[in-house]
Amino acid sequence: MNLTLKIWRQPHATAEGAMHTYAVGDISEDMSFLEMLDVLNEQLLGQDEEPIAFDHDCREGICGSCNLMIDGQAHGPEVTTSCQLHMRSFKDGDEITVEPWRSDAFPVIKDLMVDRSAFDRIIQAGGYISANTGSAPEANSVPVPRDQATRAFNMATCIGCGACVAACPNGSASLFMGAKITQLGLLPQGQPERDSRVVGMVGQHDHEGFGGCTNIGECTAACPKEIPLDVISQLNKDLRTAIRNGH
């Protein structure tokens, strides 16, 4: 298939950016979206032009690096990561717009690459368990109800890609925080720091410039791991409890 791509180009963080138009041809519908960008970059290199910078790593939908706004949607028209989006989702002759994540908290580094270290700082503010458990305990030594263990595992599948932030009209990271807080709050090891965790993470979230949640639901609709919206309710519940407890 032959495509027209409108891609955001920005040489560095402090430079002004603009949309550039490129034509790319002979694209197989079996290619991933990133493989299509690889073809375009080979074409640009052959013309002695600067290739387009974009984030990627595993290309298996696991690492969360491939953060792209495709035709105004986080990760594109399918509920998956950009690296797992295939060109069969588009038609011959389509014009596709590709942009970096839209969020003040994720500043552009270059072209389609953004700095998502704000997520790391939110985790550093409380998204962990510091209790020393020593060597790995026997699996059944700390009983955890099956439904709680399953839900904790499902919340742990969040890959921190930032699609929730990019999709949210308010630029909120509440779904990301809710997944982490719910995951750790379901486990016995997560109880000692439960109050300080939510207060620390929410405080860092606001400090980083993320917006507030108004329960629009675009975050969960765009999430490639289908984290449910009710984790935000758990986040708010934990925060209210922590405040009542004097944190």
153-172 mean pLDDT: 97
Largest CA distance in the chain: 63
- Give the predicted TM-score (pTM) of the model: 0.93
pLDDT exceeds cutoff 80 at 17 = yes
- Residue 151 has what pLDDT? 97
Q: Which domain holds residue 92?
A: 3-110
Indicate the number of domains in the chain. 2
> In whole numbers, what is the pLDDT of the chain averaged over residues?
95
CB neighbours of residue 108 within 10 Å: 20
- Residue 36 has what pLDDT? 98
pLDDT digits (tens, 9 = 90+) for 206-220: 999 999 999 999 999
150-174 mean pLDDT: 97
Do residues 121 and 223 share a domain? yes
Cβ–Cβ under 8 Å, residues 222 and 74? yes
Do residues 238 and 122 share a domain? yes
Do residues 78 and 105 share a domain? yes
199 or 139: whose pLDDT is higher?
199
Residue with tokens 């700390």: 142
pLDDT exceeds cutoff 90 at 11 = yes
The domain that holds 102 is classified in CATH as 3.10.20.30
Q: How confident is the model at residue 143 (pLDDT cuts 50, 70, 90)?
A: confident
Do residues 148 and 33 share a domain? no
Cβ–Cβ under 8 Å, residues 107 and 13? yes
Alpha-carbon distance of 50 to 132, in angstroms, equals: 49
Share of residues in the chain with pLDDT > 70 (%): 98
Cβ–Cβ under 8 Å, residues 9 and 111? yes
Is the backbone of residue 154 left (phi > 0), alpha (psi -120 to 50) or beta? alpha
Do residues 96 and 20 share a domain? yes
CB neighbours of residue 115 within 10 Å: 13
Residue 138 forms part of a structural domain = no
Residue 136 forms part of a structural domain = no
Q: How confident is the model at residue 141 (pLDDT cuts 50, 70, 90)?
A: confident
The domain that holds 177 is classified in CATH as 1.10.1060.10
Do residues 152 and 104 share a domain? no
Query: b/e string for 54-89 if b means 16 or more Cβ within 10 A?
Result: bbbeebebebbbbbbbbeebbbbebbbbbbbbbbee
Residue 155 forms part of a structural domain = yes
Residue 237 forms part of a structural domain = yes
3-state secondary structure of 108: strand
SS3 content of the chain, % helix, strand, coil (to 5): 40, 10, 50
Q: How confident is the model at residue 133 (pLDDT cuts 50, 70, 90)?
A: low
Distances (CA, A) of 16 to 10, 121, 130, 176, 218: 6, 27, 43, 30, 29
Do residues 90 and 151 share a domain? no
Task: Report the length, in residues, of the chain.
Answer: 247
Residue 137 forms part of a structural domain = no
Do residues 200 and 121 share a domain? yes
Residue 92 forms part of a structural domain = yes
pLDDT exceeds cutoff 90 at 136 = no
Residue 166 forms part of a structural domain = yes
- Residue 58 has what pLDDT? 96
Do residues 227 and 122 share a domain? yes
Do residues 189 and 225 share a domain? yes
Residue 216 forms part of a structural domain = yes
Do residues 155 and 88 share a domain? no
Closest-CA residue to 112 (of 127, 121, 102): 102
Alpha-carbon distance of 53 to 68, in angstroms, equals: 11
Do residues 14 and 97 share a domain? yes
Strands (E), 75-212: 95-99, 108-110, 113-114
Question: Which residue(s) pair with 205 in the sheet?
Answer: none
